[in-house]
Amino acid sequence: MDDEQAPVRGEDEPSTAKRPRRVVEWWNDRYQGSATQDFLKGLGDVEFGNWIILFGASFLLSVLPLILLLSAFANSRVDDNIATRLGLSRNNAHVVDSLFKASHAGWGFGVVLALILSLAGTIAVARSIQKLYRQIFDQPDVRGWANVLRCFVWALAVALEVYVDAMISRPLRDLPAGRVFLGLGNLVIATALFWWGLHWLLRGKESWRRLFPAGLATGFFWVGLGAFASVYFPSTLSTDNHLYGAIGVVFDLVTWFVAMGAVITLGALVGHTYVTRRGSVHEA
């Protein structure tokens, strides 16, 4: 029996079999220690998928009812603000209008209880965002009534921004090049809001300079969400309203709220990854 030497692994291997291995090795060399790895690790640490779904559900159950109650007492049409945020035209706004009927609220035990529960839920949503920021920026958690008040102030600031933005958006969106100016204005306002919000919820433990990239990234994602909403939701809302009725519109609103949670998380992670890696480069 003739002795045959076993071929050394890889010597006679076809070139087509080597290519996938080379691609994997090339990817591993560039992925290990990269910004992409840091960013994806951050997504896993905050449990990105779970968090944005819980945020969307909490927003629907707490913040939206509070907005409805306050709008009813103020005789304000919340559906106009939501339609503006979703980028709906005047012809498509009736879909949201049918969901939020105009009502005149009266004081009663049920209304007061609903207002208290919605307010508590809104503060809990703000608190969850604070805990998210603290986890991303590696800051210790803080409890107490003073911190609850801080979250409440943040929620008021966001509500004011939403109201002012909706008031400005209505006259601008129908003007020539109005959407361009609207996008730039939203970028400036959203960046300022989230930049301040990061500093406020982190109790000033991070400098304004370190938080600016996170605020700017969140602002860009926020404007991007608005552009996506203006393309996606007009047709989707009409279709779901036709197929499922009012509950179909609610499903689309939940999608919007979940996307808002994604914007907040991605903006903070992108900003934190940038400043962390930039600091590492400077130290090296």
Residue ranges of the domains in the chain? 45-283
Q: What is the DSSP string of 246-284?
A: HHHHHHHHHHHHHHHHHHHHHHHHHHHHHHHHHHHHHH-
Give the pLDDT confidence of 55-104 residue by residue, as tens digits: 998 888 887 777 766 666 555 555 566 666 666 666 566 666 666 655 55
Residue whose C-alpha is closest to residue 198's, from 263, 103, 126, 133: 133
Average pLDDT over the chain reads 78
The pLDDT value given to residue 200: 96
Which positions ≥6 away from 125 have C-beta within 8 Å? 55, 58, 59, 62, 63, 155
Its pTM stands at: 0.80
Q: Contact 195/211 with Cβ under 8 angstroms?
A: yes
Give the pLDDT confidence of 163-181 residue by residue, as tens digits: 777 676 666 666 655 567 7
Which positions ≥6 away from 194 have C-beta within 8 Å? 214, 215, 218, 219, 222, 264, 267
Residue 173 and residue 181: Cα distance in Å, rounded?
9
Where are the extended beta strands (E) located within 117-204? none
Which positions ≥6 away from 126 have C-beta within 8 Å? 151, 152, 154, 155, 158, 201
Residue 283 has pLDDT above 50, yes or no: no
Confidence category of residue 284, pLDDT binned at 50, 70, 90 = very low
Residue 222 and residue 271: Cα distance in Å, rounded?
14
- The pair phi, psi for residue 178, each rounded to 5°, is -65, -35
Residue whose C-alpha is closest to residue 221's, from 263, 284, 279, 275: 263
Structure tokens at 227: 């552009």
Residue 75 and residue 243: Cα distance in Å, rounded?
31
Residue 145 has pLDDT above 80, yes or no: yes
- 3-state DSSP assignment of residue 236: helix
Residue 99 and residue 249: Cα distance in Å, rounded?
8
The pLDDT value given to residue 75: 52
